[in-house]
Structure formats: C-alpha cells, structure tokens
Chains A and B, each alone.
Chain A
Amino acid sequence: MTAMLSLERLSVSFAGEAGPSIVVDDVSLTLEKGEIFGLVGESGSGKSTIANAVMGLLPASATTSGRIQLNGRETTGLDENDLRNLRGREMSMVFQDATTSLDPTWSVGEQIAETLRAHQSLSRGAARARTMSLMHEVGIPNAAQRYRDPPHRFSGGQRQRIVIAAAIANEPKLLIADEPTTALDVTIQAQILELINGLRHQHGTSVLLITHDLGVVSETCDRVAVMHRGRILETGPTRDVFGNPSHPYTRALMAANPAWSRRGSRLPVVPREWSIEEVRHD
C-alpha cells in the first residue's frame, strides 16, 4: 500500500541577506492512509515550512530539494497549474487563525461553495445544497439561514469549523492542519480536534497535524515526529515517543509542559543548549 504522503530527504532554504538559511534540513517521513500524524516542535522549527512545501505554497525565495510524494505521485516538479488542481481537491490546509482565514466581504456559504465549484462542475444550486450539508456536518446550526452571513457574525470556533468545511469540501485525502486550535480557547479546542478526528473516521482522511501543544498531540495523533531546528529528532507511535522519549530534547520539551509537570514544583524550561535563539547565532 502506498503511503498518503511521503517526504524523502526534503530540505528547504530561504535566500537571506547573510546567505541562505536552511529551515528544513533533510527531513524524511511518511504519513499512512487514514492516519493522524503529529508534527511537534517550537516556533521556528520548520513545521509550517514543511506544510507549505507539501501544499506548493512556498514563496519564490525558497529553494527546495528532495522528494514529496502525494498518494504515490511525485509533486515536487509540478507546475503551478497542476499544483492548484491538487490543492483543495487532493490535499487541503487549515491555518491557525480562522478569523483571518476567511474573506470578510464574502458570505461563509459562498466561500465553501466556491471551493466546490473550483474543482467540480456543479450547478449553483447543487453547490449550495452540498455547502449546507457540509456546514451541518461540521456543526454549524441553521445552515440554511446562516449561508448568507458574513464571517464576522460567527464566533472564532464556528469560523474554524467553516474553514474546515471549506477545506474538506471536495473530500481531500490529505488535510494539513497548521496549529488549528492555537487561537481558540480550551473547550473549543477539544471540539475542533474531535471534528478533525471524526473526518478521519468518516472519510478516511489522513491528517498532518502541526502543533507545539504536546497535549493536543497525545490526545489525537497516532504517530508523532519531534522537530527541532529543521530536523526530525525522533519519530514513532505517539505512545512510545511520549511514554519513553529517547531524545533529550523530547524529554526537555515534555518536562516544560505544565500539564505533565508536578504541581507545586517550579516549571522547567527547555535548556539553553536546545534554545533555538541561542543556537541560531553560533
């Protein structure tokens, strides 16, 4: 069985004033079908760059090497048109801040329907009907009345549901979720994770979940990769990685998580030798 997504020795660097800076360094990983794969690490560790590389959304200043295969198909050499056909249909992405992910001047229904009509030849009416069932599926009540409402009339959590509805409208096989719950409060976070988990169960969607929140990973991911400074330090089933971390950075990261540290004791921080800021200026 071919993997849903496989990265082979992927490196991404950006041209900068002081020469190129390597943001993703020789990363290989595979994401199986129907799996939720967690990519954890601090800000600046290269997680989002991997997501953008897979989506083909890197800026022109980025240089990529290595291979990316989506469902057995090489996507690294594809031109913008072919990539656009894959985006929103084969693979989709949800971003951190749902309040800025939607066009404020379009109604939410139109924004979901637009994604449908970009990839399928649907009539206006059919797209509208499908949109309403999608809104219902992601948990927006009264979809028929709310179809014409602009995004600002929805709460943050509801907007993230609408973003997810737009992302999964064409039933993509791969969903990349880049910090999808970071901007939301804890109870809403759990609901959104449940929604993403439900997609996997109902549609067999594979999910690449990018987060810095180890609690989120341990609750939802089958497997996890720990990233630091553009490299993957450790990868494996979530239970193994967190139950018996083999890499000192993973242990340091776990120790710094308030949820897993002992009440009343001083919260450890990630040691200096692992601090991204410290190492960068070497």
Chain B
Amino acid sequence: MSALGFIVRRIGAAILSLFAMSILVFLIIRLVPGDPVRTMLGFRATDENVARLQHELGLDQPMLSQYMSWIAGLFRGDLGQDIVSHAPLSELLLQRLPVTLELAGLSMTLAVLFGVPLGVLAASGGPWSKRLTEGFVVLGISIPDFWLGIMLVLVFSGILVVLPPTGYVPFAQSPLENLRYMALPVLTLAIGEAAYVLRTTRGAVINVMGRPFVTFLRAKGISPRRILFGHALRNAGPSIVTVVGIQVGVLLGGAIIVETLFALPGVGRLVVTGINQRNYPVVQVGVLAIATIFIVVSLITDLIVGWLDPRVADGMMQ
C-alpha cells in the first residue's frame, strides 16, 4: 500500500518536472537576446521577410498561445518542422533518438558491468587492488572525453586498423556492423563513467562494512562472501543507482561531444547542427528529448532505490 503511494508520488513528481522543463525549454529560446528570426535570416533580411517568417513560425502570436499550441502539438505527436529542410521533426527525432539511446545505454551498461565488481573488489581486497583501482579512478575521471576519443581512434583505427574511426550503420540493417561503429564512441564514454561507478561502489561498500549490523552478521556465522554481496552491496545499491542515474545526465551531455567527434547521427549532433544553423525548433525538440530521457531515468532510479531500501519507500528517508 505504502509502496503504491510511493510510486504514485514519484510519477507525479516526474510529470511536474516534465511540465516545468517544457516551459524552460520554450522560454530559453525566446528569452535569448536578439530576434531568432533576424539571426536566422541574416542582417540583410528585409522587414517583409522577417514578418513573413515570424508569421510562419507563429512568433507573432502572444507567448502563452505559442506555448499552448506547441504543447498541444506535442500531445498529438506533432513536434513542429525543421525550418531549414521543412521535414517534420517527429520523423527526424525518430531517426536520431535510437542512436543516442544506444550510445548512452551501452556506455552505462559497460560502466556498471566493470565499475560495480571492481568497486566491490577495491572495498574488500588487499592493498594492491586498492592502488590499482585508485589509479584507474583518477585517470578515468580526469581524462576528457574528446581527448580519450581521439586517442582511441588513433590506436584502434590509425595504428591497429581494427575499428572504423567515424560513421554509423543502423542496428536493424546490420547488428554486427552497427556494434563495430559504436565500439569506440561507447568505450570513450564508458571509461570515465566506469571510474565514477567504481568510486561510488567502493565508498558505499566500505561505509556499509563498518556498520554494526555487519558485526552481527559475522556473529551469526554468515560467510564473508554473503555479507559482501548479499548485504553490503544491497545496502550500497541505492547510492550506486542514484549516481548512475545522475551520470546518465552527464553521459547525455558527453554524447553531444562524442557524436560530433565520431560523426554519429544522434540527438546530440542534431542539437549542435541546429544551433549552428539557428534552426531553433530543432534545438528546442533536441533539448526536450534529452531532458525527457533524463527525467525518465531519474524516475526509474528513484523507483529502484525505493525497491532496494524499504525505508525510502516508507518515506523515512529522502
């Protein structure tokens, strides 16, 4: 019963965030100094042309009605039009979103698959495992994505010539080729993320291992392996999941750089191109999509944390 209440509360909060975020995305474009239409058309545009484009985009209407018609469009699945190519944005997004989702999803999966076990090892192992993981954490966190990406291209495409440096093949067309093209971008993002996940896991597990209930578990004769994986990791779970959720946001930001670097046709690159072309409906939809992913991931994160730690679901801790 209380679990259901918790889920309903969290979903309600996510819907509120989506609503607030849609207002923010809508306003940012319009509050930026300068008229977007004049910026798009250039300084030699005639007043007539400016007025025509403003009317075409609905910018001559009051803000509130602009916002209402935009939101109403979103609910119908009509995201507006690309003002350069005049293609419907919903189609564009449908092409671009899977690329970004695949990139972010694979990177985070890889980061968790390596970061969590190594973090547990670092928390429970001897001094050598601590030193090794510490080195990896420092490197992984401090190396910037764009430099790491270039170095990986240099090694795997330039010297070893085993992976393509740039380009993209849709998964549906050829799954194997798709993964070959995704390997370097995914690795670029995953290494830094794995370092964060490792550090969080190590800290959380060390913290839990010092708590009194671990002494009681030992006094009951529970095996060290079970204490570590059954109890310590479960208790560390909420911290790890929370950090993973937050890092998905960082990852989506990193995706903009990595997609540009590796010429992947994802949402990040869509936004960058949109900004360069002053194609503001595209920017608006791209930012909206990325922010929506982040809010949905945060919601899922909260629900998992509530499931892992019953105190959270009972509203005892936030």
Contact = CB atoms under 8 A, between A and B. Distances in A.
Interface in A59-102: 84-89, 92-93, 95, 97, 100-102
Interface stretch (B114-122, B180-188, B217-225): B217-225
A118 B222 contact: yes
B222 A152 contact: no
A103 B231 contact: yes
A105 B310 CA distance: 6
Contacts of A146: none
A205 interface: no
B220 A152 contact: no
A88 B219 contact: yes
Q: Which DSSP category, helix, strand, loop or mixed, fits chain B's interface?
A: helix
A204 interface: no
Contacts of B234: 103, 105-106
Contact of A152 (B213, B237, B316): B316
Given A103-B235, A152-B310, A55 B223 contact: no
A97 B231 contact: no
B308 interface: yes
B235 A97 contact: no
A132 to B, nearest CB: 18
B5 to A, nearest CB: 15
A251 interface: no
A97 B216 CA distance: 11
B149 to A, nearest CB: 39
B220 to A, nearest CB: 4
Interface residues of A, number: 29
Nearest to A101: B216
B216 A153 contact: no
B311 A104 contact: yes
B91 interface: no
Interface string A95-132: 10100111111100000001100110000000000000
Nearest to A88: B221
Contact of A89 (B213, B221, B230): B221
A163 B235 CA distance: 19
Contacts of A119: 221
A150 B222 contact: no
Q: Which of B211, B215, B237 neighbours the largest number of chain A CB atoms within 10 Å of its CB?
A: B215
Interface residues of B, number: 24
Nearest to B211: A100
Contact of A105 (B219, B220, B309, B314): B309
B202 to A, nearest CB: 19
A166 interface: yes
Contacts of A86: 221
B222 A88 contact: yes
Contacts of A269: none
B34 interface: no
Contacts of B235: 103-105
Contacts of B226: 114, 118
B213 A101 contact: yes
B33 interface: no
Contacts of B42: none
Contact of B220 (A100, A115, A150, A153): A115
B212 interface: yes
B221 A85 contact: yes
B223 A84 contact: yes
Interface string A124-166: 0000000000000000000000000010110000000001001
9 contacts: A86-B221, A88-B220, A93-B219, A101-B216, A103-B213, A103-B217, A103-B231, A105-B308, A118-B221
Interface of A: 55, 57, 84-89, 92-93, 95, 97, 100-106, 114-115, 118-119, 150, 152-153, 163, 166-167
Given A88-B222, A114-B220, A118-B223, 5 more contacts: A86-B221, A97-B212, A104-B311, A105-B235, A114-B230
Interface of B: 211-213, 215-223, 226, 230-231, 234-235, 237, 308-311, 314, 316
